[in-house]
Chains A and B, each alone.
Chain A
Amino acid sequence: MKCSVVKDLLTAYVDSELSDESQAQIDTHLEECDSCRKEMQAQMGVHRLLSEKLERVKADPELKQQIIKKTVGQSKAKQFWFVRKLQFELRPVTGFAIAALLVITFLTKDMILDRQSIIPVNPTGISTQIPVVSDGMEASITGKLVCVGCYLKNKYGAHHDCKLHGHKLGLVTSDGNIWSFTDTKLADLVCGDMEMEGKTIKLDGNVFYTAHFIDIKNYTVMEGNE
């Protein structure tokens, strides 16, 4: 083997990234060639210093706690609003049950749900207000699109980092209730486009009252505030 060829292969030789055959050929060359051997030793020396001499720095316990808390330690309550997709997609029944429970847990006196705000779509074309809507029923809801995270953060000081996770739009109705959307292409069109923020919109779809989710079937932009 020529020195130039060997020198090109030395890095891979040091890292044992060559075939046994090439590795052996280079071994033979190194026994006879000072120049190549020195270059190999220089690379091997640096490799060993880095792998053996450098102290490994550990992460602070606070950093670890923070990471755990914000990933696997996330409470169901937070998941309900922001990352509950899995439950929703995989186990709708349990998902709803948990969500329903959470809604109840979340209720404060002035947040009591105003069921009057939901107007079911009536085949006759005449909208009638009814006091109770059962889950999955078709209805239309009018409200304003806001980033749910920012809204809860501004209003209640909720912990939510839109800079990191991105804004996600939801619908606020005049009674102060907030509606999220089941994950569909249509929902992405509505809530994935930040230019829609602040617009008043009418949504038709299946309404899941307990979970405050809408499966959007159709939407109409009523007006823009900007």
Chain B
Amino acid sequence: MWESSEEKKEAFKVEALAHIDTLYNAALKFTYNRDDASDLVQETYFKAYKFFGNFEPGTSCKAWLFKILKNTFINKYRRKVRQPEQVDFDAVEPYVDLIRDKTLDPGESLDEDIFKSHMSDDVKTALARLPEEFRMVLVLSDIEGFSYKEISDIMDCPIGTVRSRLSRGRKLMYKYLLKYAKAEGY
């Protein structure tokens, strides 16, 4: 542990404060509200500073901060956040099977241009529409590049759950993007 509060401060500066932008970017994708995202990140850092003694030097501080961010979000902000499309977790499953059957029919050709032509606005909108459980793991995996093990620690769920949420989340994203692409005439 740190010899003095000055050493603690130095360690906190180097390890934790380097990730403010990263946490804010993710917080925005959790809350979809700038004020809530700012509050969420602030509170995450206050807690992190207060409990910095619990952080094990040598492990990923970014992952540790994300765990605090996720817990703070779940406990405090989730209830008041307006979901663009609140989908019941179980209700999504048959939906996803439908995607597998329809959009990924071996007979239908998968147009790779769908991905090339997509504007970041469409990606943003599609991500916002995702149920929170899926969106959070997609943010952690595809945007932040955490490993399954790290995501399972952050989300407090088994690796198998991480994998299935990622799979379902990506398939839903694909479905939304395909719809937007068709609407835009690609």
Contacts and interface: CB of A to CB of B under 8 A. Distances in A.
Given A45-B174, A49-B123, A72-B13, A54 B46 contact: no
A120 to B, nearest CB: 32
B174 A51 contact: no
Contacts of B25: 56-59
B71 to A, nearest CB: 15
B141 interface: yes
B25 to A, nearest CB: 5
Contact of B127 (A50, A66, A91, A164): A50
A41 B112 CA distance: 8
B129 interface: no
Nearest to B24: A59
Chain A interface, >50% SS class: helix
Interface residues of A, number: 43
A72 B2 CA distance: 14
Interface stretch (A7-15, A152-160, A183-191): A7-15
Nearest to B110: A38
B59 interface: no
Contacts of A34: 106
Interface residues of B, number: 53
A86 B46 CA distance: 16
Contacts of B106: 34-35, 38
Contacts of B3: 90
B42 interface: yes
A194 B12 CA distance: 31
A46 B118 contact: no
A71 interface: yes
A46 B41 contact: no
B7 to A, nearest CB: 10
Contact of A58 (B21, B114, B115): B21
A17 B142 contact: no
B43 A164 contact: yes
Contacts of A217: none
A42 B143 contact: no
A39 interface: yes
Contacts of A63: 20, 24, 38, 41-42
Given A35-B104, A67-B41, A47 B170 contact: yes
Interface string B24-66: 1100100000000010011101101110000000000000000
Contact of B148 (A12, A53, A83): A12
A214 B145 CA distance: 49
B9 interface: yes
Contacts of A54: 120, 123-124, 127, 143
Interface of B: 2-5, 8-9, 12-13, 17, 20-21, 23-25, 28, 38, 41-43, 45-46, 48-50, 100, 103-104, 106, 110, 112, 114-115, 118, 120, 123-124, 127, 138, 141-143, 145, 147-148, 163-164, 166-167, 170-171, 173-174, 177
Given A53-B120, A56-B21, A72-B13, 5 more contacts: A15-B148, A39-B104, A42-B104, A49-B115, A91-B4
Nearest 10 pairs of A and B residues by beta carbon: A50-B142, A59-B24, A71-B49, A45-B115, A11-B167, A35-B106, A72-B9, A46-B170, A38-B110, A86-B5
